[in-house]
Structure 1
Amino acid sequence: MILFILLAGISSCSRTSKFPKIEGQTMGTTYHIKYSQKNIELSSEEVNAKVAELLKNINLSMSTYIKSSEISKFNSDPSLEWRSASKEILKVTSKALSIGELTAGSYDPTIGPLVNLWGFGPNGKRVVPSDDKIQEAMKSVGLSMISLDLDKKLWKKNNAKVYVDLSSLAKGYGVDEVASLLEELGTTDYMVEIGGEVRTSGTKLGHPWKIAIESPDIENPTKSYPKVLSLNNAALATSGNYRNFFTQSNKNYSHTINFKTGSPVAHTLASVSVVNSGSCMDADAWATALMSLGYEEGIKLAEKLKLSAYFIYKLDTQKNFIAKGTTEFNKLFK
């Protein structure tokens, strides 16, 4: 969900630029990176090659759209035996399960059967399924459906039809990995964005990175950026419902699934943005988790956990969207 725009001048990729931009495609979306080349000996083309290779490997681990990926092999194999898992898969899945516990299961990496059933994954068509099919898919969804052994680097299914989907935090993980790569190459001034998930460090030629959160006001695109953030040494991720949906019988069905009903969420929360000082993966996962909870439950949990979150929602009695940040968000962005 691309709910972000970089509000800064961007130069083209070149060997001579002091702040080059590199870009490409990954995870079914695009990436854009700007960084200071001051302490990096490699050209921007060489840096981009390293970034592309890194993201390719993450895709080969976590993409459900690649049949030969590590996660696809896991999903297609009905075996309930322990099997080896990469450190990347274990790290991301472990984070997903821990956030799932904090949300009482509203956020769940095993939601894949329902995502596919409603046509929002690599399998299935975007039509409203029967109640029987929903109930059948729900039998293989739940935090207890998979087990991890982090010490032995193993994972296993506890139900043969389990389908793990890490798309809600894989882009954030990719952002973090690219940021680590840039730091290894020698820069501390950069902006990394993959599919709208962003992480910044340092400044752009002495100026703070300006990132805007998009509003759901599609009919008035010139008014679609209500909040501009000076994002310094932090990550920002947004989850929203108003772009990825389908319509049937004059009713919209969003891609965020309610695990309790097995159907798309029906609340009036349009988007949630989360800022995290240390991890874009965490921000990415929490944006989806809070989105799945809806405004009232989401902001309550965000306040309890002291998350920096920004909600855009509607009241049933109002036509216009309302924006509200948590206490921690308002401390950072007044």
Structure 2
Amino acid sequence: MRLIPLQRAAAWLAALALTAGLLAGCSRERIHQQESYVFGTRVEVLTWDASEDKARAAVAEVLREFDRLHRAYHAWEPSELTALNQAIAAGQQGIPVSPELAAMLTEAKAIAATGDELFDPALGQLIALWGFHTDTFVPVRPDPAKLSELVKTHPTMADLTIADGKVTSRNPAVQLDLGGYGKGYALDRAAVILKARGIANALINIGGNVLALGSKGDQPWRVGIQHPREPRPLATLPLRDGEAIGTSGDYQRYFELDGERFCHLLDPRTGQPARGTQAVTILVTPRPAGSTQAGTLSDAASKPIYLGGERWRDYAKRFGIEHALRVDAAGQIEVTSALHSRLQYGDGIKPTIVVN
């Protein structure tokens, strides 16, 4: 039995290498970097060419916002979200929620519908049953009877009605967990705060979910895509103003038991950890006002693309995503031509298939 922490050493190494690359050749007076630990992961915010005082104040506000979001919408510690889950389980109807949570649930419901409910924040009970509702989870196989019963109840975001600041669920088995949505939402909130504070050039990294503002001087921000099985980047790519990348992988939160890998990405069709894909990375370009923003979409849309297996490209197209990469269970790399043209692959790495 092997327990893997929420962030593998390999992911930390990649993040450190990324930071080193960003700082290389830069005047330390021109770049400001702050780190924290929130959402169960390492958070890093870098700004370029802003005064120390201005950058420090802006990033401090971002980190306070991250802490607020973490506490307000935590999936298993007391929060507005857990209070809503308790009310749903009790069969209450027309449950009042904050305007922010109502908007988040409305958006998450639309994303879920686009992806055939493979991205499904209603699966909180299933996530807990597999032991992932803790920061220091213990490897466990769920009781088969309980697992079968829960799969049959089929909780989905489609069970929710959100109107006039109130939530009603037709299925008491719905238990909301915004872990596959919240980091992306936080990226977009950070972008709003930084721009309001006059920060035009920044890079926000929440455990590998990354959003760029502006540039790093006359160069784009350059970020790494983690190799799912090796402690090094699979590739690097330049990020332009307003672009975001999101990755879903079986190497981020998982445990090994009896020689099998069980990751936190659960397939709602079977109730089992997903198989067939090691990792998916998508790049989302800036979105029109009023639509799901780049950070949020990069986080949430990566889940149905990951769970879609061989249909990954179809799911990417549904979300209008042209820049995507998949590493299948055998380690073969499939990448869209749009993303392929922007990547710089690591030594000895090349894609197996390039698709339109």
TM more than 0.5: yes
Does 2:144 correspond to 1:134? no
User: 1-side partners of 2:189 and 2:85: how far apart?
Assistant: 24
Does 2:108 correspond to 1:96? yes
Encode CA deviations 1:130-162: one digit per residue, 9 max, x unaligned.
Answer: 32101222215223322211xx22222322332
Alignment match, 2:69: 58
Displacement of 1:18 after TM fit? 3.0
Letter in 1 for 2:133: G
Alignment match, 1:181: 193
Taking the TM superposition and a 5 Å limit, the aligned residue runs for 1:251-330 are 251-267=260-276, 269-278=277-286, 279-294=294-309, 296-303=310-317, 305-307=319-321, 308-315=323-330, 321-330=331-340
User: 1-side partners of 2:182 and 2:306: how far apart?
Assistant: 17
8 Å contact kept, 1:171–1:197: yes
Letter in 1 for 2:301: W
Alignment match, 1:70: 80
User: 2-side partners of 1:126 and 1:76: how far apart?
Assistant: 26
State the identity %: 22
Displacement of 1:95 after TM fit? 2.5
Displacement of 1:11 after TM fit? 11
User: 1-side partners of 2:86 and 2:193: how far apart?
Assistant: 32
TM-score, normalised to structure 1's length?
Answer: 0.86
Specify the SS of the correspondent of 1:325. strand
8 Å contact kept, 2:244–2:285: yes
Displacement of 1:79 after TM fit? 3.6
Displacement of 1:306 after TM fit? 3.7
Displacement of 1:196 after TM fit? 1.1
Contiguous gaps of at least 5 residues in structure 1: 316-320
8 Å contact kept, 1:306–1:328: no
8 Å contact kept, 1:303–1:327: no
Taking the TM superposition and a 5 Å limit, the aligned residue runs for 1:1-334 are 5=15, 6=18, 7-9=21-23, 17-38=29-50, 42-67=53-78, 69-77=79-87, 78-122=90-134, 126-138=139-151, 139=153, 141-149=155-163, 152-218=164-230, 221=231, 224-233=232-241, 234-267=243-276, 269-278=277-286, 279-294=294-309, 296-303=310-317, 305-307=319-321, 308-315=323-330, 321-330=331-340, 332-333=342-343
Letter in 2 for 1:302: A
User: 2-side partners of 1:52 and 1:8: how far apart?
Assistant: 21
User: 2-side partners of 1:249 and 1:30: how far apart?
Assistant: 30
User: 2-side partners of 1:95 and 1:242: how far apart?
Assistant: 27
8 Å contact kept, 2:114–2:319: no
Letter in 1 for 2:297: D
User: 2-side partners of 1:156 and 1:54: how far apart?
Assistant: 28
TM-score, normalised to structure 2's length?
Answer: 0.81
8 Å contact kept, 1:36–1:190: yes
Letter in 1 for 2:97: A
User: 2-side partners of 1:79 and 1:297: how far apart?
Assistant: 37
User: 2-side partners of 1:305 and 1:257: how far apart?
Assistant: 20
Q: CA RMSD in A?
A: 2.5
Distance 1:156 1:61, change over 3 A: farther
Contiguous gaps of at least 5 residues in structure 2: 1-5, 287-293, 345-356
Specify the SS of the correspondent of 1:127. coil
Letter in 2 for 1:230: P
User: 2-side partners of 1:11 and 1:29: how far apart?
Assistant: 28
Distance 1:125 1:82, change over 3 A: farther
Distance 1:232 1:284, change over 3 A: same
Alignment match, 2:290: none
Displacement of 1:331 after TM fit? 5.4
Deviates more, 1:231-240 or 1:71-80: 71-80
Displacement of 1:329 after TM fit? 2.6
User: 1-side partners of 2:41 and 2:25: how far apart?
Assistant: 21
